[in-house]
Amino acid sequence: MSELIFENGPEEKIDIPAAEGDKNGKPQGMAVLNDPLHGMYIPTFLLISGSFIMYFITSYKRCLLFIPITAFILIYRFTMARLNVKRELNFDTWTELELEDKFIISRDTCIYTFKLNSARESLNCPPGFSVAIQAFEHVDTGDVLFDLPKIKETEVGDEDKTAEDSFVHDYRESLEEESVLLEKEEENVFNLDDPSKYKEIVRFYNPISSNQAKGTFDLLIKSDPKGKFSKKMASNSYNGLKLKFKGFVGTYNHSDSTKEFDKLVMLTGGSGITPMLQVITKSVEDEDSLSIDLIYCNKTKKDILLKQELDDIAQSTKRINTTYITEESVGLLSFHDINSKVDDLQKTRFLICGNEGFNKHVIKLLKDNYKIDPELSEKQIFVF
């Protein structure tokens, strides 16, 4: 059993108030106007043709006033469309983004919401791709910082001078000043922590929010009690914390799935659910015809992440099914579990994501039991 990291307990909202506004953009009723057909083409056509018809019927010139009004609406709509920016993170330089919210979803896992630069931006991360986050580790102590230590410019000497310049102190006052100086000195020693003593560490996470979400994006981070970055995030992250991101990283190609296969069998464990959720979301949003069987393996029932969300998707979309396997009740994933989801092997693609041991176990089950064309095997058995 893994160590309990979050004291607040599962499913409890912590420290940061809920994000303001609608994370998914405009309210549902108005969302239809974001579609160019409904938001631009139809209103333009109706206003211009209406103005001409009225003018021909009535010969009343004021009817033509609708034409500049239409032009204004068009300019407005184009401007709004341009402001709805898709954010591509830069692959070469770090982009600083701020933590806005965090939400504990299990004893060791949290969803972190990061703010994009504007409420109209959305993170355009391809399914199966991840973002990289930068941190720094002290080479001697192993301490992890989200940013390199900064040297403060306060000089202890300056404070001393001020004290010396003043002739009249009573004994008590001078004692107080001395203790303040000592504190400053300690602070300076701390701040003089040599940045060259830190080495960069980089960790990868798959955003789980839809690319249609505006203004923010979500990362699910499972905290490893012995891990450097994930443990620091669990214990030391706060509203307003700025982290540096690069992106996007990955090799999964969703059009390979839709063009060459009919079915995806997803074999995953623990936080490996994140790329699977991205692919499921993409498939649902595109309304493609893939049938998807997710087999999600965990140690115990409590470790199953996002179960409610996954069940909701499976309920609303018949072509998506979920199966949960826990070590405590069923044991390890078996070939029978996998084979029960396969109808036509040639048309089935296996997507795998778990820890090293899980991936090895699953690949061995597939290769030992199926005759998979070696040329096809890399495409047919895709490991995130």
Ligand X SMILES: Cc1cc2nc3c(=O)[nH]c(=O)nc-3n(C[C@H](O)[C@H](O)[C@H](O)COP(=O)(O)OP(=O)(O)OC[C@H]3O[C@@H](n4cnc5c(N)ncnc54)[C@H](O)[C@@H]3O)c2cc1C
Closest to 339 in 3D by CA, of 265, 231, 244: 265
Residue choice 105, 110, 221, 292 for contact with ligand X (CB under 6 A): 221
Task: For ligand X, give the closer residue by CB, 66 or 112.
Answer: 112
From CA 192, how far away is CA 190, in angstroms rounded?
5
Residue choice 89, 97, 105, 220 for contact with ligand X (CB under 6 A): 220
> 198 a known binding residue?
no
Which of the stretches 21-29, 39-47, 219-227, 293-301 binds ligand X when contact is defined by CB under 6 A? 219-227
| Beta carbons within 8 Å of 183's beta carbon, 6+ residues apart | none
Task: For ligand X, give the closer residue by CB, 256 or 343.
Answer: 256
Contact call for residue 358 and ligand X (CB under 6 A): no
Closest to 17 in 3D by CA, of 114, 98, 100: 100
| Beta carbons within 8 Å of 108's beta carbon, 6+ residues apart | 2, 3, 4, 5, 6, 222, 223, 224, 225, 234
Q: Please, are residues 198 and 136 in contact by the beta-carbon 8 Å criterion?
A: yes
Question: What is residue 104's three-state secondary structure?
Answer: strand
Contact call for residue 206 and ligand X (CB under 6 A): yes
**CB neighbours of residue 330 within 10 Å:** 12
Contact call for residue 227 and ligand X (CB under 6 A): yes
From CA 277, how far away is CA 217, in angstroms rounded?
14
Contact call for residue 103 and ligand X (CB under 6 A): no
Which of the stretches 56-64, 173-181, 209-217, 228-236 binds ligand X when contact is defined by CB under 6 A? 228-236
Query: Measured at CB, which residue is nearest to ligand X?
Result: 227
> 274 a known binding residue?
yes
Total residues binding ligand X (CB under 6 A): 17
Contact call for residue 230 and ligand X (CB under 6 A): yes
**CB neighbours of residue 24 within 10 Å:** 16
Contact call for residue 102 and ligand X (CB under 6 A): no
Task: For ligand X, give the closer residue by CB, 40 or 220.
Answer: 220
Enumerate binding residues for ligand X (CB under 6 A): 130, 203-206, 220-222, 224, 226-231, 271, 274
- Residue ranges of the annotated binding site are 203, 205, 220, 222, 228, 230, 274
